[in-house]
Structure 1
């Protein structure tokens, strides 16, 4: 039995028990507008009426006519402002296309959050504090903020008033550092076993020395965790073994860590480091550092442990390549090359390979780049030897990468990889004289002498 609209409206006002309201069954083809409407039943008989959930207004609804009447009602319904935002029938407002002339007074709480985010941004991405004042950064931030305005319907916000100044960020860095350090110190207090990685180096141009400390820890569920504890200026007047050990102990103590015989310390194999950590800890030499040092000596040293380094062909080629690469980089002529030449760095693992590998790739383009003074250096380079050296050094680069895994321990790989490199250094009949010299130095004179030390090799990760 179908009832008239006015009669049903009267029954609803009287809260008559014969009236029941139900949501329609939801299907994949259901219109979103049904979220705001329900079907009316009188004595369990469905009527051709629907009721608005917000204002309780009755509408005549026939399935053949569709939901047009309900969509029109939503636009004028006073109670549907919030809930109809998700409906596809919502009309766009003029504020979505034009900026408001009023400026919102940004709350201090929001400014503090933005300041903290900017501070972490400069710290985590190693960016300059002045970056937040850059025109490009401000445009990016303003665009991101404006993109959210159609959703939030806030007043116009001047992003310059929201982004903190570089000075504010630089001051907030100390707060962030102390906060993270305290969190790490609390974590270290619960560690019963761990290993420490220690490294010292000197910046070539300033002459300043630095100390880097990292910590490795395996959790109860066998997950490897790596933390950088410090990268600080080492300002001791005399870099002796005692001063190095005292400095490291003081830095570790700030995290509540104390070395003892059960704690492993991974360092390079220099004499000062071996002496500094010979007591109250178990020192392990870094295998990657050792391999890299031998590669460095083979190309740059004429004598090692009072014995000559007989790798003249490889060293001459290295010197020619290094001279040309330095000139091209400094003269800004590398823009004419398909790849940027790499300069040799003794602080970069396998730095020789990276320089030679790029040089070989652009070798045919170099005659049009170098000047007449360096053309003799270029012609003196044996391209066949250059290709041989690149192929030979590639395995060393792969070995270093394999031992540098930061996700899991790699000490068990040291001896197999060492043997792989020894096999790789075996001299073959068709090797050139330059490659034979290099293989002899690395295989016979250096790597085999470390046989008794392989059980104590470790990785610097």
Structure 2
């Protein structure tokens, strides 16, 4: 049996219309036993989840994104493929999260950081990742190191890179780029490779 106060809560929450039929009773049955630890009634079935989106509305929003992406390429001189990068997707996801919290009440200029702030953050990220890489390398007992050379197609500048390969028990085969620098030596001989590696330390 429900107390008088609980019944009054149900009366306020469950409004019946002729078109509802017995659906109102179903909602009552589903919510009456789902109470929080402090005794407060929880409403669990009256609003659609954010995961249930309207397909037509999604298509309309995507068309607006397409237009904005095209304008991004034109106004900021960015390649079309920029929106396919993992970094851009991560930024877009964070902006969606912020938008879900603040809606349109906060101007985007207050959210986006200044370019100087971003450049300083790069150094901080490098230091954090560098420490993580050192800690990782100290735990490895079996690994392989490879050296790779390539030339940039448009500039003609040659590069040499050193990559660490190892097997992780959880994630399987992993590869980590330890360093990458411009390579100016005339040949890819062993002594030149050794010389290149020494410049990384």
How high is the TM-score relative to the length of structure 1? 0.25
2:5 aligned counterpart, secondary structure: strand
What aligned pairs does 1:433-448 form with structure 2 within 5 A after superposition?
A: none
The 3 A distance-change label for structure 1 pair 224 and 212 is same
2:132 aligned counterpart, secondary structure: helix
The yes-or-no answer on 1:181 pairing with 2:130 is yes
2:139 aligned counterpart, secondary structure: coil
Aligned match of 1:88: 46
Could you tell me which runs of 5 or more consecutive residues in structure 2 were left unpaired when the two chains were aligned. Answer: 16-39, 48-82
Deviation, structure 1 residue 224 = 2.2
Deviation, structure 1 residue 196 = 1.3
Deviation, structure 1 residue 144 = 5.5
CA distance in 2, matches of 1:149, 1:222: 37
Aligned match of 1:169: 118
Q: 2:5 aligns with which of 51, 55, 70?
A: 51
Deviation, structure 1 residue 176 = 1.3
CA distance in 2, matches of 1:126, 1:145: 17
The 3 A distance-change label for structure 1 pair 157 and 190 is same
Q: CA offsets, 1:173-232, max 9 Å, x none? A: 232123212211210111122111211122244332211222211246793222222233
Query: RCO greater where, 1 or 2, for CA within 8 Å and sep 6 or more?
Result: 1
Aligned match of 2:175: 226
Q: 2:139 aligns with which of 187, 190, 212?
A: 190
The yes-or-no answer on 1:125 pairing with 2:125 is no
1:157 aligned counterpart, secondary structure: coil
Q: 1:201 aligns with which of 141, 147, 150?
A: 150
What aligned pairs does 1:379-458 form with structure 2 within 5 A after superposition?
A: none
Q: 1:68 aligns with which of 11, 28, 37?
A: 11
For the pair shown, the structure with the greater C-alpha radius of gyration is 1
The 3 A distance-change label for structure 1 pair 83 and 175 is farther
The 3 A distance-change label for structure 1 pair 146 and 177 is closer
CA distance in 2, matches of 1:194, 1:186: 15
CA distance in 2, matches of 1:220, 1:145: 36
What RMSD over aligned residues (CA atoms) do the two structures have, in Å? 4.2
What aligned pairs does 1:8-27 form with structure 2 within 5 A after superposition?
A: none
Q: What is the number of residues matched between the two proteins?
A: 139
Deviation, structure 1 residue 126 = 5.8
The 3 A distance-change label for structure 1 pair 126 and 244 is farther
CA distance in 2, matches of 1:126, 1:222: 21
The 3 A distance-change label for structure 1 pair 69 and 241 is closer
Could you tell me which runs of 5 or more consecutive residues in structure 1 were left unpaired when the two chains were aligned. Answer: 1-23, 25-38, 41-49, 53-57, 62-66, 73-81, 90-121, 255-461
How high is the TM-score relative to the length of structure 2? 0.50
The 3 A distance-change label for structure 1 pair 146 and 182 is closer
